[in-house]
Structure 1
């Protein structure tokens, strides 16, 4: 565990760690414990180089309620998700905004309560993190791992899982083969950063979009 990771412990009849000083309402079960991440976005220069455009940057709250000693404890983690996309042309399809890139930030915090841990991405596999892009599709099926490589994000080396699958794009109904690039969680400051890139798997589009995703990885800001 890194020195700056926030880790809160709670248990029946057990004193909480000093990190929870001032959180009496949470200790007593009267108030929710709220933890927040800072935004992770992509630099405008990287967007210009790849012709990606900002779609949404929004806060995503994850709330969990636990029972400890007959009392409920609620934890709310405020995350940020920035989504970018661009139009692609695939033979046999109308032009559509089928290339996606998502930067997701979440508090680098573990809260161990009644033997359950709230940490949205810290212990997730690449395959679990693929779900971050599922809202962009009406269906994402037959996802298969095809390899791994490393890249640099925010000055740290990140392992990237590469996957292939089949997706139906929301709003268009078009079903295409898809390539996904999913990073492991990268610790930066007091947050974890996860990035996901996705695009139709149709040469010659594939090679160019792989380069674009690499540029976007390098352009992440936090």
Structure 2
């Protein structure tokens, strides 16, 4: 059901690095490069929640900016790890019903200043950006919030209700978003699933609590 939406939210988050407009300070003739460490869910926790690892891949942002009338370049490497959950639904066969994505993105610190805008974005801002990039998701509304502990850090998980257009049909979904910092990277995790999928919220929270960074 959600196969054509896999990693959509993660890609939207990573694109914030390009659209932020906060990297124009760069000077020098060589590109300034930053790279995150990959993040993932502990394999046993993902299996217990019924999710299968789909892919881990880098997303490199290579942006040329103008500084004092001269072009400068920055390269930022993010990592996306996404999972899928499929179920047998009678005549529909095996259908994808859940997506969970973890994004690691470098903080981009210069002289003690953090320049990655994700560091200052709220969960509501992150999910709004997803909506802006995807015309098939609408009516996003915050419906809950709670704190969890991830890698020894307290993180806020915000729950949103939304409507998604999937295979030509409107489906009510829940979106869970959390963000925290670990070392030199920000970690963003997003879970999306149909509202009628009972018990899935605890599975998503369990996976968020089980994030490992670095994962390699």
TM-score (norm: length of structure 2): 0.76
Query: Which one of 144, 153, 158 corresponds to residue 155 of structure 2?
Result: 158
Larger radius of gyration: 1
Query: Which one of 143, 146, 170 corresponds to residue 143 of structure 2?
Result: 146
Question: Per the alignment, in what secondary structure is the counterpart of residue 122 of structure 1?
Answer: helix
Q: Where do 1:1-222 residues align within 5 Å?
A: 27-28=27-28, 30-88=29-87, 96-110=95-109, 118-119=115-116, 121-130=118-127, 139-169=136-166, 172-183=167-178, 185-202=179-196, 205-206=197-198, 208-222=199-213
Q: Which has the higher helix share?
A: 2
Cα deviation 1:83-141 (Å, max 9, x = unaligned): 001024789976521211111101122469xxxx851521222133226877xx77211
Runs of 4 or more consecutive aligned structure 1 residues displaced over 4 Å after TM superposition: 88-95, 131-134
Structure 2 residues not aligned, in runs of 5+: 1-22
Number of residue pairs matched by the alignment: 188
Please provide the CA RMSD for this pair: 3.0
CA drift at 1:181: 0.6
